[in-house]
Amino acid sequence: MKAMLSTAPGGPDTLEWTQMPMPEPKKGEVRIAVKAAGVNFPDTLIIQDLYQIKPPRPFAPGGEIAGVVEAVGEGVDTLSEGDRVIATPGFGGFVTHLCVPAEICIPIPDTMPFDEAACFIFTYGTSFYAVKDRGYLDEGQTLLVLGAAGGVGSAAVELGKAMGARVIAAVSSEDKAQFCREIGADETIIYPRDMDRAAQKEFSNKIKELAPKGIDVAYDAVGGAYAEPVIRAMAWNGRFLVVGFPAGIPSIPLNLTLLKSCQIVGVFWGAATRMDPKGHKANLASLFRMHAEGKIKPRVTASYPMEKAAEALHHIADRKVLGKIVVTVD
């Protein structure tokens, strides 16, 4: 087997395409022949030791995979060789073969392509948990999504529409705005890359023009200086969802939460799946149902061979992604 290994902290170019012994599944595990792996922003952080999880080196990044069960360990009776599955190991997915606990594998229908499957759980799982369980998004409410053209952002746009909300997509360019309109956004706002105080005020005013009564739920997958203008445009009892910080960790004047009677709510989907496995299972059932009904569909806009995973990670780090990108194994 081969793996794209992080042997020292650093950027994507520090990864090494390495030959390794074929792993054998232990008790309770299966070995998956990986067909595709989703590429996500945390993959760029974990190789720099900047993520919440810091695996011992050497390790492969890659938190979500799709493939075929190739070998079954002792005691596994829920899966068989040849089953098509997805799994979210957290890291280790940029490999040709991977052993994981059978309990984290989810069978997928033959109608779901491997590239779509590899992009499904992390993005839609995060965004559904965010807007449903943390944001209590309801039909007829207004949802604002920051970073709406990215993986989790575009998932939030689709889910917001599927849940009956009015969705405003906030992005950094016209091509991203067009992409968001194509996947269902009702309105779009283009914000500048450099958000100084004047730009913050203009951004907040644009939001208020589109939502005079305020934003009921804000989904922030960007952070930095973009957060405060959104909070200034929140509705009474609004919910501001903290999802990610590619633009940096924001500093928020807490008096705004008092004036708006709004909430700032953390979204840590990975931990939530462990803390509430029943709720996670129910959410997955809802997501697969929405996918089968055509209400949501991963937008895979770029694909790289596994050995070129560094290029995929550079694309993510530069914040140029529309939808999702994957790395694949022939």
pLDDT tens by residue, the chain, 330 residues = 999 999 999 999 999 999 999 999 999 999 999 999 999 888 999 999 998 889 999 999 999 999 999 999 999 999 999 999 999 999 999 999 999 999 999 999 888 999 999 999 999 999 999 999 999 999 999 999 999 999 999 999 999 999 999 999 999 999 999 999 999 999 999 999 889 999 999 999 999 999 999 999 999 999 999 999 999 999 999 999 999 998 999 999 999 999 999 999 999 998 999 999 999 999 999 999 999 999 999 999 999 999 999 999 998 887 777 889 999 998
What whole-number distance in Å separates Cα of residue 134 and Cα of residue 47? 29
Distances (CA, A) of 82 to 72, 113, 193, 232: 10, 15, 47, 53
Question: Do residues 130 and 102 share a domain?
Answer: no
CATH of the domain at 180: 3.40.50.720
Kindly report the CA angle at 295 between 88 and 133, in degrees rounded to 5? 55
Q: Report whether 259 contacts 234 (CB < 8 A).
A: no
CATH of the domain at 76: 3.90.180.10
Quickly count: other Cβ atoms within 10 Å of residue 134's Cβ: 21
Q: Is residue 57 part of a domain?
A: yes
In the block, residue with structure tokens 């290994």: 5
pTM given for the model: 0.89
Question: Do residues 113 and 195 share a domain?
Answer: no
| The pair of three-digit structure tokens given for residue 139, joined into one six-digit string | 């039909």
Residue 103 burial class via C-beta count within 10 angstroms: exposed 0-12, middle 13-18, buried 19 and up: middle
How many domains is the chain partitioned into structurally? 2
> What is the residue range of 86's domain?
2-120+299-328
